[in-house]
Each structure stands twice: as C-alpha cells, then as structure tokens.
Amino acid sequence: MYYEKLSAQELEREYASLKRQYENEKGRGLSLNMARGKPGSEQLDLSNGLLDILSSKSSCIGSDGQDLRNYGILQGIDECRKLFGDMLGVDADKVMVGGSSSLNMMFDTVSCMMTKPIAEGCKPWYEVENRKFLCPVPGYDRHFAITQYYGFEMIPIPMSEDGPDMDMVEKLVNSDPSVRGIWCVPKYSNPQGITYSDETVRRFAALKPAAEDFRIFWDNAYCIHDVTDNPETLLNIYDECVKTGNEDLPLLFCSTSKITFPGAGVAAMAASDNNMKVLMERYKYQIISYDKLNMLRHVKYFGDFNGMLEHMKKHKKVLKPKFDIVLNTLERELVPVGVGKWTKPNGGYFVSVDVYEGTAKRVVALCGEAGVVLTGAGATYPLGIDPKDSNIRIAPTFPPNDELQTAVDVFCICVKLAALEKMLDK
C-alpha cells in the first residue's frame, strides 16, 4: 500500500483511518519524551559505583605525589590524561582534562580564538568579517549554536554514508580564507550514526586550508558507544594529520557524559603542541585547576581504557533493545507505505529520520499535541532551518522501553498522517 501508488480516494480512506487512530492516541493523555540524548536511569545506575569509589578513608594522593584535594595540575592528572589519550588515540601529553563538559571545552576553544589568534600572524576571529564555519547536516544543534553565538556564517555541508561531502569541504576550505572551522562528530555522528570512512578522514588530514587558522573540531563524543554487535572503526585523524604535516589542523574532544554521569563526568581535549600552547595560555588565566577528585574517581573506577570498554558493553545491553524498538517499528509501519528514510546506526545516541518532504515541522507538532515531545524540526540544521523540512532526530535512550514503544507508535502515525495531509493538500 505504497502511498504514492494509491488513488486519491484510497488516500482519503487511509487518511480517515489514521486520523481516527491519531485522535485515539491523543485522548490517552500521554506525556512522553524522545527529544534529547539523555541516558536513561538504567544506564545511570551502571555507574553508581563511581559514588562509592572515594571515601573519607581514601588516599587522594596522585601518581606525582600531590594531594588531589588541593589546587594545582591545571592540565589534569596524569592518570586521567592517559585514560583520555587512549580514548582519543593520542599520547597523554597531548591531552588536557577539563571540567565535566566537552561542549564547554569546545565553547572555550572557539571563545579563545575569537579574541586571540591560534596561529602566529593571524587575526582573532572577532576581527574576521564574514567569518564562516562549515556545518555537516544533519548535525548537532549545540555545535551550531556556538558558532551562531559568535556570529559565524554557517555553511551546511551535506552528509553522505561516508561522512561530510568532502568535495565541497575541500573546495571551500582550500579556497575560501574566511572559512575558519568545521564541526565534526566523526563516529556514530549526531544524529545519523554515520562513521566517517577512512577515505574521508584521510581527505580531512590532507586539507590545505586557505586560512592558516582553520581548525577541525573533531568531537568524538561517541567513540566507544556501540549499540549493536557490529562495531565500526574510525581512522585516527591525529596520526593521519601527522603524516601530512597537518598536526595543527584537528582539535579532538570527548567526555564521559554518556559513559558515567552527564554533567558530572569528565571531559577532555587533545591538540598539537602549537595549539595547546595557545589554549593553555588562556586556561592559566581562566582557572587554577579543574576537579581532580572527579578525575581520580573515574580513573579508579575504570582502572584503564579497557575497563571503560568493558563498561560500555553494559550500556550496549541496555541500549540495543531501545534502538531495536525504534528501528523495528519504523520498518513495520513506514516501509509498507513508502514514507520516510532513516539510518540504522551501529552506535551513538540517535536515529535520524527523514520524513516526507515538507512535513517535519508538522510531524513534530502532531506528536506534541498527542503528548510525545520530539527534538524540534530543523534543530539538526544551522539556525534551525532544514531546507527540505524533512529531518527529525529521534532519541531513544531516555524513555523506559514500554513508553518508547508507545512514543514511536505515535510518531509513525504522525509521520503517515502528515504525509497524507501533504499529498491530499489538506
């Protein structure tokens, strides 16, 4: 019963039937949320042991003999730099461990470059008129928001199965000196769950930017966040950039927000010595030292990077059924009618659904009226403008499984209903 093959009369009949289903769901007084990429409470419980790991009887003396309860060690404790170095694929001495938020470290990094040049002879970005930033779409709304706040023109770069359209990236970066950066979630991208291909990573490493201070913001937020038994691998961008003599190009970020506790985890970044020098020159004025006791908690809890990988298997066990609920329901409800396309991610936090063109806003509104909160339509595009009004980000992690099933059922009804409204010009 492909909608496109139905007669007007058949469409009307289907519309009437769906409308009844929708009104029925609406009458149930639902209050469900598939909006934000928040871990569910079962996931949070996995890390509760972190709260026991330090006690008044613990030694808080770090590996270098310093009392971690006191000021000091601006770049983070060595044990924790090693942990994040292993996570990001770089030596520990390239790592700075910050507060609890990698988003904050990205914000600080952009903020730094706004008023201080990252490379000698360059202007602070504040003084760069028509400064531009590349934004792979669909992408992460909070990335785009930072460059929006700082007055960048944001250029959408379409995503393919291999990552951002590298022909477009190369053309823009290598020819336009006003292009100063690009946002990347290179593994299990937000929201599509796409892992950049080796070829894509190599092309990033081989960029020859027109602007000397062009930087790749490589937010490896989901680097160990598999949700199926088919884990994907990402080529090491830093190693590739060393090979091309471009080690100043990438700035790497990650955190334990979706490993332990969002907001109460630990965040880190890695960068070349040149980049780190400029950033540390800022950090030394910004703060005396970050929360080393929380770093110590994480180091003690995981032991090492392998311990972290083991921990992630527990998350996978919780998350796989949730992704299955979403994907199976989409398959069952939408494939037969030929409406919608979506990715089937092996990791990350989202399912990215492209609904019938021109109906994403309507789908979100219909869901909202029926008590199912979705991420706003357009949120995955700079300035919230999805030119096709088609992409919706589904976040399956937070609701309990039964609520998630109901929410996706409602979502599918709304996707079909909105498509029929459009086809029937209602």
Residues engaged in binding a second copy (CB under 8 A): 36, 38-39, 41, 44, 47-49, 51-52, 54-56, 58, 67-72, 99-101, 103-104, 107-108, 111, 114-115, 126, 142, 145-146, 148-150, 257, 261-264, 282, 285-294
Which residues have CB under 8 Å from 56's CB, separation 6+? none
For the CB of residue 116, give the shortest distance to a second copy in the complex, in Å.
Answer: 8
Closest CB 424 distance from a second copy, rounded Å: 40
How far apart, in Å, are the Cα atoms of 64 and each of 280, 298, 303, 305?
20, 17, 17, 20
DSSP secondary structure, 252-286, as one string:
EEEESTTTS-TTSS-EEEE--HHHHHHHHHHHHHH
3-state secondary structure of 353: strand
* Two tokens, residue 366: 């219909």
CA distance 97 to 269: 6
Residue 269 and residue 109 in contact, taking contact as beta carbons nearer than 8 Å: yes
Strands (E), 202-335: 215-219, 250-255, 267-270
Q: What is the Cα–Cα distance from 48 to 71, expressed in whole angstroms?
A: 27
State the nearest-atom distance from the C-beta of 37 to a second copy, in Å.
8
Q: Report in angstroms how near the CB of residue 127 gets to a second copy at its nearest.
A: 8
User: Given the complex with a second copy, which of 79 and 108 has the nearer CB atom?
Assistant: 108
Q: 99 or 338: whose CB is closer to a second copy?
A: 99
Is residue 253 within 8 Å of residue 80, measured between CB atoms? Answer: no
* Nearer of residues 27 and 65 to a second copy, judged by Cβ: 65
- Closest approach, Cβ 74 to a second copy, in A, equals 10
Which 3 state secondary structure label does DSSP give 288? coil
In the complex with a second copy, which residue's Cβ is closer, 35 or 119?
35
Which amino acid would we find at residue 66? Q
Q: Return the number of the residue (195 or 255) whose C-beta is nearest a second copy.
A: 255
The residue among 19 and 38 lying less far from a second copy, judged by its C-beta, is 38
CB of 38 to a second copy, least distance (A): 5
| Residue 36 C-beta: closest distance to a second copy, Å | 7
Cβ proximity of 379 and 142 under 8 Å: no
